[in-house]
Chain A
Amino acid sequence: MKTNIKASLAGIVLALTLLCVGCSLKEEIYDTPVPNQVLTKESDVPVVLYGLYGAMADIFAEGGIYLPLTNGTEIVGLGSVDAERTYKYDASSNYVKSLYSRNYKVINNANSLLENLEKISFQNTANAARYRGEVNFLRAFSYFHLVRFFGKVPIVTKSTTSSGDYSAPRSSVDDVYKLVFDGFKLASATCPQANVMSTAERGRVTKGAAQALLAEAYLTYANYLDLAKRSSEAPAYYQLAKTYADSVILSGSYQLVPKYADLFDNTKENDAYKEVIFGIQYTADASAGSLGSNGASFATFFAPANRFKVCGVAPDGLASATYGITPGYMIYTHRATTKALTARSIFGWATP
C-alpha cells in the first residue's frame, strides 16, 4: 500500500512536470492597458480619444507652456534668480524641453490613434469622421504651438515604432503650417457646432473651435510671411483668416459675456461657454481633486495667493502664486488655463 501511494505521488509529480512542456510563453499584461486589447472596436475609441485630450492638457500643466508663453522675463520665481528669468536658458531648460516633448507626445498619440481608426470598422460613419476630425485638430493644435515656438520642426505623421532611425530632419515652416491648416480644416468639416452639442460633451472640439483656430493660424502665417519678406504671399492668408473668423462670428454659436471678469469666476463657468470657443478643461469640483484633474496649474502658480474661485482653482482652493507675472498675460490666459480662444479675441482683431 505504502509503495502504491509513493508510486502514485511520483506519478503526479511526473505528470505535473510533463504538463508544463507545452506551457505558453505568450506574455499577458494584466495591470497595464495595451493597445491591441483596449482599442479594437468602435466603442473603444472614446477612451483613447479622451487620453489624447489628457495629453493635450499636459502641454498646459506645470512646466509646460509657461516659459515661452510668458516670454521668460515675465516669470519671476519668487525669492530666487533663475536662468529662465535672466534669459540664460537654452534647450536644456526643462521648460523648453517639456514644451517640445509634450506637444510631440500629443502628435504621436494622434498618429497612433489615426492609424488605429483605419483598422476599426465603424457602424456610425459620422462618428468615425468626427473622431478623425478631433484627432486631426489636436495634432494640428500641437504643431501650431511647435511652429510658433520653434519654427522649423520635424513633421511626423506616422506613429513611432521601434524600427525608426530617429533622425527626422526639420521641415520647413511652410510645410508645418500646411499640416496645421489641413488638420483644422478637416475638423471644421466633421465636428459639430457647439450649440448643437450636448452639454456632456462640452470641452470636445467643435466646428467653431476649428474655424477659429484656423483663422488664428492663417493670421499668424500671414504675419510670418510679412516678416519673412514674402509680403506678396500674405494677403491671401489674411483674407482666409478673415473668412474663417467671420464664419465663427456669423455662426450664432458665441456671444460676449457682459462682464469680462465673469470669465474667470468658477461659479459662472456655464455662462462663460457662450464666449469661450476652445479652452483647456479643468474641473472646479473640489471633490474631484483627487482624480488629478482639478485646477489649472497655471492659475494656481500665477494667480495671487489670496485669490479664490479663480478659473481652474478649485472653489475652496487657493492660488499659490509661486511666480509673479505681468497682469496683461492673465488676459491672454483666460478661462481655466493658459490658452483659451475666446470670441473676444476673434472680435478683438476682426473689428479693430
Chain B
Amino acid sequence: MNVKDITNTYHFNINNNATFQILNGLTANARVGLDYKRIQRNMYQPMDTRIGLASKGYAYSGEGDQLSYLSDLTLNYSNTIGKHRLNAVGGFSHQDWQLRNYASVTTGFASDQLTYYAPQSANTVQTPIGKFEKSALNSFLARIAYSYDERFLLTLTGRTDGSSRLAAGHKWATFPSVGVGWNIHNENFMKSVSSSISNLKLRGSWGVSGNQSVPIGASQYTYTYSKYSFNQSVTTGYNLSTIGNPELGWENTAQVNIGLESGFLNNRFMLNVDLYQKRTTNLLFNRAIPDYTGFSYLQTNGGSIENRGVEFEAKAVAMQKAVTWNISANLSVNRNKVLDLGGMNDLFGPIFNASMGKNQFWTIARVGNPIGVFYGYKVDGIYQTPAEVDAGPADPNKVQGGWKFLDISGPDGVKDNKITTDDMTIMGNPYPKFTYGVTNDLSFKGLSLSVFIMGSQGNDILNMYRIQTDALTVTTNPPNTTREVYNNRWTGPGTSNKYPKPLFVNNRFYQRPNNTIVEDGSFIKLKTVTLSYELPARLIKGVQKLRVYVTGTNLFVITKYTGFDPEINSYGFNSMAQGFDLGSMPQIRSYSAGVTLGF
C-alpha cells in the first residue's frame, strides 16, 4: 500500500469597496476585506513503510485556519488650480490576523484499511498539538502630494501605527517622510536640448519606517510546561520561559535617498542612479543574557545598524530597425555596518550543531563590522613534522597531520601562544561587494531571444556540508566523505596542506568553527534564456495569437564555490544567518517549451 498524503487548501477572499462623493474633489473611501485560508493535511503511513512498521500504522491529521481582516477608511481630496496640483489622502486602517492549527497523530492500527478516516480505531493517540494566535495593527495615515507646473514635486506622508505585538505604552509610533522631486526636463532652459535629453529628474527623500516583527507574546512573561511525578502520577506544572519586556517597542529605520533619472534621445538610452543611507535604530533582537538570570535571551530593542549603497540601472535600445535589441543592466552596491549593540560589543548568531557534537554559533554582530559575519578559528595549513607541532601554540588537539590553528589573541587581547576561544575571529563576510544583472532582448520579425545573466561578487559562503564530508573522523555515526578529501588527505610530511589525516575523535573539526569551509561565493549565472516565435496574426483562422517558445533556466554558472550552487540561502531573511549552505535546495536547471494561443 502506498503512503497517503493529501493536503487541501481552501481560500476565500472577499473585498468590498464603497466610495462616497462628499464634495467636488473630496471623496470618502471605505474598504473591508476578509481573507480566509483553511489548510488540511491528512497522511497515513501503512505498515509496510519504515515509520508505519515501527508504529503499526501511523496517521496524521492536521488542520490550520488563517483569517485576516482589513478595513480602512480614507478621505481623498484632489484639486488642480492653475499650475498647482494637490492630492491629499488621510484615513484610518485596521488589520487583524488570526491563526489556528491543530494536529494529532494516532498509531497502532488493526489494518491498513481505515487509515486516517478512523483515528478512533487506533491504539495510541499522541497528545494533539494546537496553536492559536491573534495580532492586530491599527494605523492613521496622511499623505499630501503637491506639484507645481509639472516641475516641482513634493510629497509629505505621515503615519502612526499601533501594534498589538509590542508592549503597552510602546505600541504606537509615528513615521514621517518627505519626498521632493524636480523635473528638470520641464524647465524652459532645457527646451533647447529636449531632443537629446528627453528625461532628467532629480529626486530626494527622507523617511522613517518601522518594524514590529516580533513573535506573539514577545513583550510578556510566558510559562512553558514541565512534568514531574508525585507518587508515580505525572503532573503538569508551569515554569517561566520568556522574560516580559514592558518597554518593547518599534524598530525604526531612517532612510535618506537621492536619485537621478535620465533619458536621452527620446528615452532610447536611460540611466538611473540612486544613493541611499539607511540607519536602523532600536533594533529588535534577542539579546543574549548571562545564564544566572535563568534565561538565555531577552527580546529587546537596542543598537543600530547602517546600510549605505548605490544602485545603477541602465537601459538602451541598441537597435530598433528590423532587428530590435534592448539591453538593460543593473548594479547594486551595499555596505552594512553595526554601529551599536545596546552597549554590548558582540552579539552571536543562531546556534547550530551541524554534526560537530556541540551547539555553537558561527556568526557574530560586532560593532564596526557587517552584521552576521562568519566567526571562528583560523586554520593555517597542516602540521607537517613533529618539529612544527612542537613549535606551534599550545593546543590539546594539535597533532602531526592535523590542522594548525592560528594563535590570534589571548585573554588580554594579545597572543598567548595558546589556542582558546579568544582566538576566534571574523573569518568571512556573507555580503557581496556588488551584485548585478544584465538582460538582452533581441527580436527579429516574430522571432525573439531573451537572455538574463546575473551575478554576485565578493561574498563568502559557509559550506556546512563539508563539516561532514571533510572531517575525516571516526564517529558513532560515520558520515560519508568525498573522493577529493579522501585522496588528498595528509599521509606524511608534504603530502597535503589542506586535508588532515583521519583521526579517531568523536567531534568533527575539534568542535571548532573554522575557516576551512569558508569559500568564495562569487558567481556569474546564465539565469534564463527564452527563445520564442510568434506566428503572424490571423495565419490560422480564428486564432489571434500563436506563440511557441522554449525556456531554459540556470543553464550554467561560473564560480569557484565547491558546493552544489552558490546562489543559496538556507536561512532566508535571518540577518544573522546569511550565506549558510546547509540543507538548502540548489536552484534547479529546467527546460520548458510551450505554446500560447489567443483567440
Contact = CB atoms under 8 A, between A and B. Distances in A.
B219 interface: yes
A55 interface: yes
Contacts of B164: 25-27
Contacts of B244: 161-162
A165 B300 CA distance: 13
Interface in A187-227: 199-204
B322 interface: no
Contacts of A277: none
Contact of A27 (B220, B289, B475): B220
Interface string A272-315: 00000000011111001011110000000000000000000000
B223 A34 contact: yes
Interface in B510-547: 511
A349 interface: no
Contact of A31 (B133, B162, B359): B133
Given A161-B243, A283-B234, A292-B227, A29 B293 contact: no
Interface residues of A, number: 87
A80 B475 contact: yes
The B contact surface, by secondary structure, is strand
A104 interface: yes
Interface stretch (A45-53, A177-185, A237-245, A257-265): A45-53
B223 A17 contact: no
B72 A281 contact: no
B506 A162 contact: no
Contacts of A166: 289-290, 293
B511 A83 contact: yes
B94 interface: yes
A37 B526 CA distance: 58
B226 A25 contact: no
Contacts of B216: 27, 29
A38 interface: yes
B135, B219, B226: most-surrounded residue (chain A CB, <10 A): B226
Contacts of A11: 18
Given A50-B236, A100-B291, A293-B234, A92 B221 contact: no
A168 interface: yes
A21 B92 contact: yes
A180 B576 CA distance: 41
Contact of B18 (A13, A106, A290): A13
B227 A291 contact: yes
A83 B507 CA distance: 9
B36 to A, nearest CB: 16
B102 to A, nearest CB: 11
B2 interface: no
Interface of B: 16-20, 28, 30-32, 71-73, 92, 94, 96, 124, 126-127, 130-136, 138, 162-165, 168, 171, 216-217, 219-240, 243-248, 289-296, 298, 300, 357-360, 396, 421, 475-476, 504-507, 511
Given A35-B222, A292-B234, 11 more contacts: A20-B138, A23-B94, A31-B132, A101-B291, A161-B243, A162-B298, A166-B289, A166-B293, A167-B290, A200-B230, A200-B233
12 contacts: A17-B32, A17-B73, A23-B96, A25-B171, A27-B217, A31-B131, A31-B133, A34-B220, A82-B357, A108-B295, A203-B231, A290-B127
